[in-house]
Structures are given as C-alpha cells and as structure tokens.
Amino acid sequence: MAGMDHAKMPGMAPASPAPQAGGAMAGMDHSTMPGMSQDGMAGMAPAGAADPFYAPGSGLAPHAADGGKFLSYADLRALHPRYALRPPTREIEIRLTGNMERYIWSIDGVKYEDAEPIVLHYGERVRFKFVNETMMTHPMHLHGMWSILDNGSGQWNPVKHTVSVPPGTTLYTETEVDAPGRWAFHCHLLYHMGAGMFREVRVVGGPQSAALPVTPVQGE
C-alpha cells in the first residue's frame, strides 16, 4: 500500500521547485546526490548514479528530513516472479505529450479521437518506452494485462496495474500479451484521459494462433 501511496505523490506536487517546510534540505541533498552513497542511505541506486525515478526539480529526493529515505520505484521487488524472464519481442515508444497552458493532453502528440489503436499480438512480450515530455506526472494504466516495471530487478521487477511516469523522465515496462481483446490504455488522471491521453490497445490472435508461448510462472 505504501507503494501505491507513493505512486500518487508526484501527481500531488507537480514539478514545483518551491520546497516546503522541511523539504529545503531534501532539495539541497538532491542536488548533491552523486555523493549520497557516502552516508549509507543510497538505497538500491548504484553508487554515483541518481535514482531515475525521481524527476529533477520535482521537489522529491531520496532523503527524508529525519535521516530516513523516501521510497521510490527503485525500492520495489516482486515477492514472486509472475512470468518467466525473457527478452521482449519488440519495443514501442509512448511519448506522453501535452501543453499545460492550453490544456492539451495526448500520446505521441495525437489525442484519442484522432489516433489508431496500438495493435499487439497475443503471445508477444512488448517493451514500452515511456517518454514523459510534459511537466506533470502521468500514472499510465493498461487494462487487461500487467505492466512489469523495469527497475533493474530482472526476474523480480515489480508487476503493476499503473505506472507513474514523473515529469521529464523516461522509464520502461514490459507486458506479456496474454489477454485477447480490446483494452483501454490511458493516463489515470481522468481529466488527462478525457482530454485525449488515451489509446485503445487491441490484442489480435489468441492461444490458438500464438507465435510464442506465454509462460506464466505463477497463476492467480
């Protein structure tokens, strides 16, 4: 549950550079993150590397005021792998686009009503590259299938319904395409969805026509 709460945090404080009380120190710490491994609070981030799930300028930083650490997606691990790890069959880039002032929200610069469905084939494993070109977090939600967030944990990458993409960042998910049909795929800020940050994902084929087997490790 803590992870879910965290997933909503960036949306609660969109890209505000103004530190809150107690947050100023965290912001300063953030600017010196390459040195953070010296204090033993670096978590799972490699020494000298910034946590990729914190957006620069978001006001969020790995350090809490009391010497603790705010958790990020980098801290999530699956208890049990849901699917066998295998290379993706292809990559699809999803650019999250929009204009806050004009209140335009879209994917790849095209709003839903003008867009073609994203066609996936049953049995493939698709890697999604999310590029957030906007100044807001977008919690992207794919119906029908799981989104496996690549946070560097390999077989133990967390499996999620919704993946929040912080402003100005790029992250990757993978989906085992194991559910035929037509599925909604959208930002879960409903006013963004309503404005057009939405796609139909159409899964063609089925178990009989699958070119590649889907290999679940653990059932529901």
Least distance between Cu ion and beta carbon 135 (Å): 11
The verdict on 138 binding Cu ion (CB under 5 A) reads yes
The verdict on 192 binding Cu ion (CB under 5 A) reads yes
Least distance between Cu ion and beta carbon 204 (Å): 27
Kindly tell me which of 33 and 187 has the beta carbon lying closer to Cu ion: 187
CA 58 distance to own-chain centroid: 16
Least distance between Cu ion and beta carbon 92 (Å): 18
The size of the interface with Cu ion (CB under 5 A), counted in residues, is: 4
Please pick, from the candidates 7, 33, 55, 187, the single residue that binds Cu ion as defined by CB under 5 A: 187
H helix runs in 16-81, sequence order: 23-31
Q: Which long-range contacts (CB under 8 A, 24 or more apart) does 190-195 make?
A: 191/105, 192/98, 192/105, 192/136, 192/138, 193/105, 195/98, 195/103, 195/104, 195/105, 195/106, 195/111
Token reading at 121: 């084939």
The verdict on 165 binding Cu ion (CB under 5 A) reads no
Helix (H) or strand (E) segment spanning residue 88: none
- Name the one range near Cu ion by CB under 5 A: 137-145, 147-155, 171-179, 208-216: 137-145
The verdict on 189 binding Cu ion (CB under 5 A) reads yes
Kindly tell me which of 125 and 192 has the beta carbon lying closer to Cu ion: 192
Least distance between Cu ion and beta carbon 165 (Å): 9
Least distance between Cu ion and beta carbon 150 (Å): 21
Question: Which amino acid is located at 19 in the chain?
Answer: P
**Using CB atoms within 10 A of its CB, is residue 162 exposed (0-12), middle (13-18) or buried (19+)?**
middle
Token reading at 209: 């026509």
- Name the one range near Cu ion by CB under 5 A: 67-75, 111-119, 131-139, 168-176: 131-139
Q: How many CA atoms lie within 13 A of 76 on its CB side?
A: 20
Q: By CB under 5 A, name the binding residues for Cu ion.
A: 138, 187, 189, 192
